[in-house]
Amino acid sequence: MTGEESLRPQSLMLTFLGDQVLGRDVCVYSGSVIDVFARAGIGEQATRSTLTRMVGRDLLRRQREGRRMYFGLTERSEAVLHDGAQRIWQTGAVNRRWDGTWTLLGFSLPESWQRQRHDLRSQLTWSGFGPLFNGLWIAPAEVDVSALVAELGLSAHVKVFRAHADTGMDIGRMIEETWELSELADRYQGFAGRWQHWEDDLPDADDALVLRLRLQTEWLQIVRRDPRLPVEHLPADWPAEPAEKTFRTVHERLSPLAEEASERLLDLVPARQSG
């Protein structure tokens, strides 16, 4: 099973940790991780390199038990995983609760600041913004970008406002001109097409664990790129809701088998207080 694009080992690792470690106050044996990732087609060297890089980025911490090395979460990775879980299970893919508020962000950067301009645009895109005009970006709902702007060192060059559209404004047309709806729709349709047959078929337990890992990772990548535009201003056949139904149905079917496999394959120990 492959997604619309290659799933990076770190993305799969975060999903794995969110499933098996988050909220349980445990650490997982490196050999168990290597075993599961081998079943996902990721070699031992790549898995070990991913674990090492994540330790270096403060996304994992090591815990030695005898001759075995275990890995547990840090405050940073817990925050990342809680955010992902909320995006999947609470926020959802369809925005039915929009109150009409938009966030407008204007910026003016020196012409020579090409890297800063690129970084700002990239971060705004991941935060759900679209380019309304050159130097003026817009997002549905109230979006707090203060930390983002401060981290980039651009607070003096950015202005943020809350706004409502004027009466008679064609919001649907504005959305079509500002966001690449066709690309987002293709992602949802592609996801549903790849996973629908698992609504009826069942793999064996070991395959179910890997399939659920890929399912959640791919779904999170899609919904994190979705600005969650108000559904009343999207095309009537918008594919997010059917795709989300496929995700939840397949996840529910895979989970009993995946949990059976994890109980058999994973070596977990209680996490000790670091420091």
Instruction: Report pLDDT digits (tens) over 246-262.
Output: 999 999 999 999 999 99
**Domains, the chain, ranges and CATH?**
102-164 (3.30.70), 177-261 (no CATH)
State residue 274's pLDDT score. 61
Confidence of residue 3 (pLDDT cuts 50, 70, 90): very low
- The proportion of the chain whose per-residue pLDDT surpasses 90, expressed as a percent, equals 90
Comparing 29-38, 88-97, 134-143, 186-195, which segment has the lowest mean pLDDT?
88-97
Instruction: Output the six-digit token pair for 246.
Output: 């496929």
Is the CB of residue 69 less than 8 Å from the CB of residue 55?
no
From residue 5, alpha-carbon distances to 1, 2, 38, 50, 252 in Å are 11, 7, 19, 19, 24
Give 273's pLDDT tier (boundaries 50, 70, 90).
confident
Write the Ramachandran bin of 117: left for phi over 0, alpha for psi from -120 to 50, otherwise beta. Answer: alpha
Tokens of 74: 């840090």
Q: pTM of the full predicted structure?
A: 0.90
| Residue 174 in tokens | 């504005």
What is the side-by-side order of every strand in the sheet holding 268-270? Answer: 60-65, 68-73, 26-29, 268-270
Q: Give yes or no for a contact between 160 and 147, defined as CB atoms under 8 angstroms apart.
A: no
